[in-house]
A and B are shown apart, each in its own frame.
Chain A
Amino acid sequence: DTAVSQTPKYLVTQMGNDKSIKCEQNLGHDTMYWYKQDSKKFLKIMFSYNNKELIINETVPNRFSPKSPDKAHLNLHINSLELGDSAVYFCASSQGTSGVTKQFFGPGTRLTVL
């Protein structure tokens, strides 16, 4: 039974399109995250939600909009996709927001913008 799942696993699209990535966790956690791993392999936090409230919003273009319909889901919508958006996007969840809490990651969504 997958703890943190993401769909789709692969996404290939044209510049200018709008796309969404979905994330679901069945761990009962109250905090969810989106990370981006770019070509340089750095894993960088983009957003975090705690109990459906946005608590971390890094310097990310406003073309990226997270939505948390409930504690178990955090979706990422990207408007007007650009070449530089190509990356692997990871969803994660944890119980609590403290930096000492373990985060559980999904398998990632590889986004390729042509």
Chain B
Amino acid sequence: DQQVKQNSPSLSVQEGRISILNCDYTNSMFDYFLWYKKYPAEGPTFLISISSIKDKNEDGRFTVFLNKSAKHLSLHIVPSQPGDSAVYFCAASGGSNYKLTFGKGTLLTVNP
């Protein structure tokens, strides 16, 4: 029962272009969403988050958009840099269940 889905296992973009990573969720109780970035042989590191009371949150080159009616969020990276190449995990929490539920991750490759 995948409550958080990242349907694209991988994405490849050119340096300087926009990277768009997508995430869908099924649990209506989720009200907080996070993106984590993971390099090989390292643990995930927090990147950016958004509460369900917002539809956009921006931090430098990273912007997360939330569409509650579609139960969809996306992470935009502009401009993409080779150092952004990593696996990106979408995670969600909410209701009385404060644990994080993670998606399967999307491998982003930014080509120089």
- In the complex with contacts A90-B43, A105-B43, A99-B102 CB distance below 8 A: no
A4-B43, A41-B104 provided; 5 other pairs, C-beta below 8 A? A56-B99, A90-B43, A99-B93, A100-B49, A108-B42
Q: How far is the CA of A44 from the CA of B89 in the complex (A)?
A: 12
Chain B interface residues toward A at CB < 8 A: 32, 34, 36, 41-46, 49, 51, 89, 93-94, 97-100, 102, 104-105
Kindly list chain B residues whose C-beta atoms are within 8 Å of the C-beta of A48. 99
Chain A interface residues toward B at CB < 8 A: 4, 40-45, 48, 56, 90, 92, 97-100, 102-108
Cβ contact within 8 Å between B51 and A103? no
- B interface SS class: strand
Q: How far is the CA of A56 from the CA of B44 in the complex (A)?
A: 20
- A interface SS class: loop
- In the complex with contacts A40-B104, A41-B104, A42-B102, A100-B43 CB distance below 8 A: no
